[in-house]
């Protein structure tokens, strides 16, 4: 990000630790984040960004970056994981929907309309636009649930809409499984590389919310608003990074061959890798780990 002030006016640091973030911007890709932060007015920067297309280095190592809102800017290399659009329904990412609301998105409003319709409250069509019909249906739902009837779908109304087993507003873990497995594996690979390069200790890797608990980062929930939904904790992540650092060549080949990014039919169908270059990919990754 050559236009970012951390690049144009760098402050040298000797970072030995790393911090894992997730963007909190559902549906944004690495390219989107790089575009947003590669400006002279951006007040955020990180060294790495990951999405399902790969790992992107956006700043050189050895300089201060603006990722934590506190002292970890100078002590921790930062990596952002891009969150899929489905994380829009998580409490940490939820933004109020309302008629004419500034935070309305087609994705979120469509889910709201589908859920209201499934419950018998007709939003007058499912088109992703929060119009009068959606407003009337939402108010009727709020009245039926004993909520404040104001036409705003904030957290209390969201939670009431999520109390149906098959609610459209519940995070669809299975739908996101392949994406999560891919970016998680990429993050493990990156952090193993960083620990090796920085001579760091995997036990000292933190996420943003852990940084807040240690008073070296601002009050953000990432990544613990998302990881547990896929059965992962930061202890799992640190353990996986440590294992990657200690793998033999044979173990690395075996592990990579079993990763969902290789075995998932959906991943193959998407054309991310062809059968012809899998062997080369595995060998390259294993050699890097060694």
Q: Measuring CA to CA, which residue among 275, 207, 282, 276 is closest to residue 247?
A: 282
pLDDT at 221 over 60: yes
Instruction: Give the whole-angstrom CA distance, residue 86 versus residue 28.
Output: 11
Instruction: Give the whole-angstrom CA distance, residue 91 versus residue 277.
Output: 40
Would you state the pLDDT for residue 246?
A: 83
| 153 token code pair | 């779908």
Q: What Rg, from alpha-carbon coordinates, does the chain have?
A: 21
Q: Measuring CA to CA, which residue among 91, 123, 92, 90 is closest to residue 109?
A: 123
pLDDT at 138 over 50: yes
| Helices and strands: H and E segment counts in the chain | 13, 5
Q: Where in the chain is the domain with CATH 1.10.101.10?
A: 91-161
pLDDT at 260 over 50: no
CATH number of the domain located at residue range(s) 5-86+173-246 in this protein: 3.40.80.10
pLDDT at 125 over 70: yes
Instruction: Give the whole-angstrom CA distance, residue 125 versus residue 117.
Output: 9
Give the pLDDT band (50/70/90) at residue 289. Answer: low
| CB within 8 Å of 211: residues ≥ 6 apart | 19, 68, 70, 72, 76, 217
| CB within 8 Å of 278: residues ≥ 6 apart | 262
Q: Where in the chain is the domain with CATH 3.40.80.10?
A: 5-86+173-246
Would you state the pLDDT for residue 42?
A: 97
Would you state the pLDDT for residue 161?
A: 98
pLDDT at 128 over 80: yes
Would you state the pLDDT for residue 245?
A: 87
Mean pLDDT check: name the lowest of 16-30, 84-98, 242-256: 242-256
Answer yes or no: are the C-beta atoms of 130 and 137 closer than 8 Å.
Answer: no
pLDDT at 276 over 80: no
State the average pLDDT over residues 91-116.
97
Answer yes or no: are the C-beta atoms of 234 and 205 closer than 8 Å.
Answer: yes
Would you state the pLDDT for residue 268?
A: 47
State the average pLDDT over residues 29-46.
97
Would you state the pLDDT for residue 270?
A: 53
Answer yes or no: are the C-beta atoms of 85 and 25 closer than 8 Å.
Answer: no
pLDDT at 279 over 90: no
pLDDT at 264 over 70: no
Fold of 91-161: Muramoyl-pentapeptide Carboxypeptidase; domain 1 (1.10.101)
pLDDT digits (tens, 9 = 90+) for 147-205: 999 999 999 999 999 999 999 999 999 999 999 999 999 999 999 999 999 999 999 99
Would you state the pLDDT for residue 111?
A: 98
State the average pLDDT over residues 47-52.
97
Helices 173-198 and 234-246 pack at an angle, to 10 degrees, of 50
| pTM for this model (two decimals) | 0.84
């Amino acid at each position: 990000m050559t236009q970012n002030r951390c690049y144009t006016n760098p402050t040298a640091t000797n970072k030995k630790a790393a911090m894992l973030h997730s963007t909190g911007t559902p549906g944004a890709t690495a390219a989107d984040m790089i575009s947003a932060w590669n400006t002279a007015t951006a007040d955020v920067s990180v060294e790495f960004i990951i999405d399902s297309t790969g790992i992107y280095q956006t700043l050189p190592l050895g300089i201060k970056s603006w990722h934590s809102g506190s002292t970890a800017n100078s002590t921790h290399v930062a990596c952002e994981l891009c969150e899929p659009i489905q994380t829009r329904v998580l409490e940490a990412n939820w933004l109020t929907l309302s008629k004419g609301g500034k935070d309305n998105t087609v994705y979120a409003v469509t889910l709201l309309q589908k859920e209201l319709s499934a419950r018998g409250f007709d939003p007058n069509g499912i088109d992703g636009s929060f119009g009068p019909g959606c407003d009337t249906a939402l108010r009727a739902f709020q009245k039926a649930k004993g909520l404040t009837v104001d036409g705003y779908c904030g957290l209390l109304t969201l939670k009431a809409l999520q109390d149906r087993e098959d609610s459209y507003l519940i995070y669809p873990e299975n739908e996101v499984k392949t994406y999560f497995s891919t970016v998680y594996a990429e993050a493990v690979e990156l952090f193993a590389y960083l620990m090796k390069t920085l001579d760091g200790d995997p036990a000292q890797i933190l996420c943003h919310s852990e940084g807040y608990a240690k008073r070296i980062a601002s009050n953000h929930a990432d990544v613990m608003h998302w990881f547990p939904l896929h059965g992962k904790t930061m202890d799992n992540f640190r353990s996986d990074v440590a294992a990657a650092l200690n793998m033999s060549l044979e173990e690395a080949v075996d592990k990579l061959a079993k990763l969902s990014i290789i075995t998932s039919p959906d991943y193959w169908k998407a054309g991310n890798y062809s059968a012809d270059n899998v062997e080369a990919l595995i060998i390259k990754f294993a050699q890097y780990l060694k």
